[in-house]
Structure 1
Amino acid sequence: MSTAELGLPVDVPSTALFTDRYELTMLQAALRSGAAGRRSVFEAFTRRLPEGRRYGVVAGTGRVLDAVENFRFDAPVLDFLRREHVVDEETLQWLSGYRFTGDIWGYPEGEVYFPGSPILRVEGSFAEAVVLETVILSILNHDSAIAAAASRMAVAAAGRPLVEMGARRTHELAAVAASRAAFVGGFRTSSNLAAGYRYGIPTVGTSAHAFTLVHDTERDAFTAQVESLGRGTTLLVDTYDVATAVRAAVDIAGPELGAVRIDSGDLLLLAHRVRQQLDDLGAKNTRIVVTSDLDEYAIASLAAAPVDSYGVGTSLVTGSGQPTCSMVYKLVARAGDDGELVPVAKKSLGGKTSIGGRKWAARRVDEDGVAVAEVVGSGPVPGDLADRQLLVPLVRGGEVVGREPLDAARLRHIEARASLPVSATQLSRGEPVLPTEVL
């Protein structure tokens, strides 16, 4: 299913230069040596989870598919490479006709992963697979970090809605990707209109403190907002005095007022006071939204407060202290002289060793269906794991076959997280909740 078939806008530019120079210089040397056409298998994985995290979340798969589909070297790109003397004319000629024609398998978006999980497997010639390294890692490392933070926040929120509102705290393009990843991880809405346009994520938003300050009085601001947006709007009540603002809000909008937002102060104390005041004023159905530098720990601390939803910005779009997943993209197999795949792996000091071979992955569960281990192997798949395999086809013969609606990834993550041991949802630092067994 293509982006157009999903009813989403098709305006993704070429991704060919979202790469490092050495990808192309390797290509040039491989073309000269004859190794460029050698069948190869690359895998994206992480050797460890970010410190203290108990599981990872696969996010960005759909963006990876878009990036591979749009990895094209058009005339302006080729002119740039020629002008900067990045590669020679023979390599430029090869790049001018570049189309990925291989296969990609991977964990479906929204699935959880652990150290050593072969999150993405790219198979094709060395030349066509190696140039995808940087863009694939750029997407997976960023989006999976955001989705993992979002998942932890969703656990802490315990079913209360979460609003992504971090666009002003990161790069403008990263903000759109972060909104998408947050949605996969459990957020319901975003303040970012570009995310709504590109990915169909529901958007929300009403007003900031500037709107109140530009009016002569707070009552004037509230009146203007209610007359413009209706009684179901959300009024920001902490510009001056919260109690006075809540009283004015209900007086102007009536008990039909949709929500009030608190963006500063002792949120726990204020939430209880505002709830009591709203109830006393007859606005029993008016919701309370809290914002103000929240993270999963702050959200958890408000579990007993009468809060209806949370807005999260900075902590979310920076991965709540873990902005990358440290994923790598390694050659694990290549064709030998007889054409058969030969396992290859980096062997070095410092914990940067890899395991060679084209790998499969499966998740072992107990009699209650609770996951007990991540199993990774390069040989035959044991019979008891045959129907528990995790990798699915994403690209076959250069054609995208694994694109899906974003809602599917979101729902998959909820199910995957629910299948983990209960300790997976603890916010305290700990080891990965599942061991990785290598067969």
Structure 2
Amino acid sequence: MNTADLGLPVDVPSTSLFTDHYELTMLQAALKAGTAERRSVFEVFTRRLPEGRRYGVVAGTGRVLDAVENFRFDPAVLGFLRERGIVNAETLDWLAGYRFSGDVWGYQEGEVYFPGSPIMRVEGTFAECVLLETVILSILNHDSAIAAAASRMSSAAGERPLIEMGARRTHELAAVAASRAAYVGGFTSTSDLAAGFRYGIPTVGTSAHAFTLLHDRERDAFTAQVDSLGRNTTLLVDTYDVAEAVRTAVEIAGPELGAVRIDSGDLLLVAHRVRQQLDELGAHATRIIVTSDLDEYAIASLAAAPVDAYGVGTQLVTGSGHPTCSMVYKLVARAESADSTAALAPVAKKSSGGKTSVGGRKWAARRLDEHGVAEAEVIGTGPVPDELRERQLLVRLIKDGQVLSREPLDVVRDRHVAARANLPLSATQLSRGEAVIPTEYV
């Protein structure tokens, strides 16, 4: 869900400076050479998955659509470029009228991807497409990394809900995007109010250790919180002595106490002790929420613990060790002249060092085995085989510069659950391994 879905006014600034200096100098040189208007095809893909990952998650597509739509060179931006002498007057005149008028195709948000998957294809003139490179990669690399980490954590958590709480561990704007990506990957709520406002993600939160320390006694802090927020609140019980805190919490809130949160110590051992104590006190329905630098491995290790929910911060917003997906944006085809009817010719970088790419405008499809489980990511530049025609992954997102549709986040989230379930079972293993299905070029 975005602010348009919520009917909330948000002032969206131009995204035109979310780019690199050389995008504009390339534009200037191409305009002078007469090649800027050649029809071109750029594709976003990654040559490999982060080490040990079995699949990637497409996230940030909705934000890319917003960024393309708001990619405008307003007077303030043009003044900055003029003052710095970044481009010449002719290029500034061209930029003043910039509106992306091409097409964008892509994997649907929430879908999984693999090495070589053309997860986004941008088509138009070289001039209008090249300017979008940095902002598209910035969004997709960040959001897809967070969503992939979230997906692994969600898989490890099973049916237990996950709370995103990493806002204080990253840039304030990145925190909002991270919360959105985490929701796509399977998290159920966030502590970040900006994410709740902008995207409609459920927000949660009660108190920190500072609230307990503010009061003369832990009992006073618990009493104040219950009096204000009700018996269904979550009380933080590890500021001092956990056992004493649990006893006091139930005494004040009664067996109707909503939850207790544990933020330190041996979580497996402490969770078992707290569960036993809560049951002995008659608080059988009181839930246990654990936090404290969790990642997918820590979550998996708590599978047998009496834990009801997890709160994850640092490891989530840093991609659990992989904060980027190493996606690239490469020119794969271009016309031989500025004539709009000129045929497209495939182009590709052929240098050594593991950075080669495959030229040509590509399609992608996922082949299934006899049980309906994915067995290969198939990529080609020629005709699509009949047996794969209904399994194609790229859909048109923008046509002639107009965004075709925007999806609620819940739809995206459900798509990811379905896409992950369609992979071989080994996709959810946390042990290191290669991509769960191979990429085949035809």
Match of residue 87 from structure 1: 87
Match of residue 398 from structure 1: 401
Matches within 5 A, 1:304-323: 304-323=304-323
Mapped to 2, the partners of 1:160 and 1:41 lie a distance apart of 43
> Does residue 1:345 correspond to 2:331, yes or no?
no
> Does residue 1:367 correspond to 2:370, yes or no?
yes
Match of residue 414 from structure 2: 411
Match of residue 58 from structure 1: 58
**CA shift at 1:383, angstroms?**
0.2
Mapped to 2, the partners of 1:131 and 1:398 lie a distance apart of 14
TM-score (norm 1): 0.99
**CA shift at 1:8, angstroms?**
5.0
Match of residue 250 from structure 1: 250
Q: Alpha-carbon deviations, 1:323-381, whole Å to 9, x = none?
A: 00000000000112460111010110001011000000000001111000000001000
Q: Alpha-carbon deviations, 1:148-201, whole Å to 9, x = none?
A: 000000011011000000001001111000000000000000000000001110
Aligned CA distance change for structure 1 residues 2 and 90 (closer, same or farther; 3 Å) = farther
Match of residue 24 from structure 2: 24
Q: Which runs of 5+ in 1 are unaligned?
A: none
Code of the residue aligned with 1:353 in structure 2: it is T
Match of residue 379 from structure 1: 382
Aligned CA distance change for structure 1 residues 10 and 290 (closer, same or farther; 3 Å) = same
**CA shift at 1:44, angstroms?**
0.3
Tell me if structure 2 keeps the 8 A contact 1:28–1:91: yes
**CA shift at 1:390, angstroms?**
0.3
Code of the residue aligned with 1:112 in structure 2: it is V
**CA shift at 1:4, angstroms?**
2.3
3-state secondary structure, aligned to 1:92? helix
> Does residue 1:96 correspond to 2:96, yes or no?
yes
Match of residue 166 from structure 1: 166
3-state secondary structure, aligned to 2:110? coil
Tell me if structure 2 keeps the 8 A contact 1:49–1:115: yes
TM-score (norm 2): 0.98
3-state secondary structure, aligned to 2:256? coil
Tell me if structure 1 keeps the 8 A contact 2:3–2:198: no
Q: Alpha-carbon deviations, 1:207-254, whole Å to 9, x = none?
A: 000000000000000000000000000000000000000000000000
**CA shift at 1:7, angstroms?**
3.5
**CA shift at 1:270, angstroms?**
0.5
3-state secondary structure, aligned to 1:52? coil
Code of the residue aligned with 2:435 in structure 1: it is P
Code of the residue aligned with 2:409 in structure 1: it is L
3-state secondary structure, aligned to 1:168? helix
Mapped to 2, the partners of 1:211 and 1:104 lie a distance apart of 49
Mapped to 2, the partners of 1:398 and 1:377 lie a distance apart of 26
Match of residue 219 from structure 1: 219
Match of residue 138 from structure 1: 138
Match of residue 73 from structure 1: 73
Code of the residue aligned with 1:23 in structure 2: it is E
Code of the residue aligned with 2:91 in structure 1: it is T
Match of residue 125 from structure 1: 125
Match of residue 357 from structure 1: 360
Match of residue 184 from structure 2: 184
Aligned CA distance change for structure 1 residues 153 and 9 (closer, same or farther; 3 Å) = farther
3-state secondary structure, aligned to 2:255? coil
Mapped to 2, the partners of 1:89 and 1:341 lie a distance apart of 31
Mapped to 1, the partners of 2:111 and 2:145 lie a distance apart of 13
Mapped to 2, the partners of 1:185 and 1:351 lie a distance apart of 30
Mapped to 2, the partners of 1:2 and 1:253 lie a distance apart of 37
Tell me if structure 1 keeps the 8 A contact 2:3–2:199: no
3-state secondary structure, aligned to 1:4? helix
Mapped to 1, the partners of 2:181 and 2:88 lie a distance apart of 38
Q: Number of matched residues?
A: 439
Mapped to 1, the partners of 2:316 and 2:400 lie a distance apart of 37
Tell me if structure 2 keeps the 8 A contact 1:393–1:402: no
Mapped to 1, the partners of 2:8 and 2:49 lie a distance apart of 33
Tell me if structure 1 keeps the 8 A contact 2:2–2:198: no
Q: Which runs of 5+ in 2 are unaligned?
A: none
CA RMSD of the aligned region, Å? Answer: 1.1
Mapped to 2, the partners of 1:182 and 1:18 lie a distance apart of 23
Match of residue 13 from structure 2: 13
Match of residue 423 from structure 2: 420
Mapped to 1, the partners of 2:250 and 2:4 lie a distance apart of 45
Tell me if structure 2 keeps the 8 A contact 1:72–1:99: yes
Mapped to 1, the partners of 2:43 and 2:295 lie a distance apart of 32
**CA shift at 1:3, angstroms?**
5.4
Aligned CA distance change for structure 1 residues 2 and 306 (closer, same or farther; 3 Å) = closer
Q: Alpha-carbon deviations, 1:55-104, whole Å to 9, x = none?
A: 00000000000000010100110000000100001000110111000000
Code of the residue aligned with 2:36 in structure 1: it is A
Q: Alpha-carbon deviations, 1:392-438, whole Å to 9, x = none?
A: 11100100013111111100000000000000000011000010000
**CA shift at 1:12, angstroms?**
2.0
Mapped to 2, the partners of 1:30 and 1:194 lie a distance apart of 41
Q: Alpha-carbon deviations, 1:249-281, whole Å to 9, x = none?
A: 000000110000000001000000000000010
Tell me if structure 2 keeps the 8 A contact 1:9–1:197: no
Aligned equivalent of 2:438, options 417, 429, 435: 435
**CA shift at 1:6, angstroms?**
5.7
Tell me if structure 2 keeps the 8 A contact 1:72–1:98: yes
Mapped to 2, the partners of 1:81 and 1:360 lie a distance apart of 38
List structure 1 segments (4+ residues) > 6 angstroms apart after TM superposition.
none
**CA shift at 1:9, angstroms?**
4.2
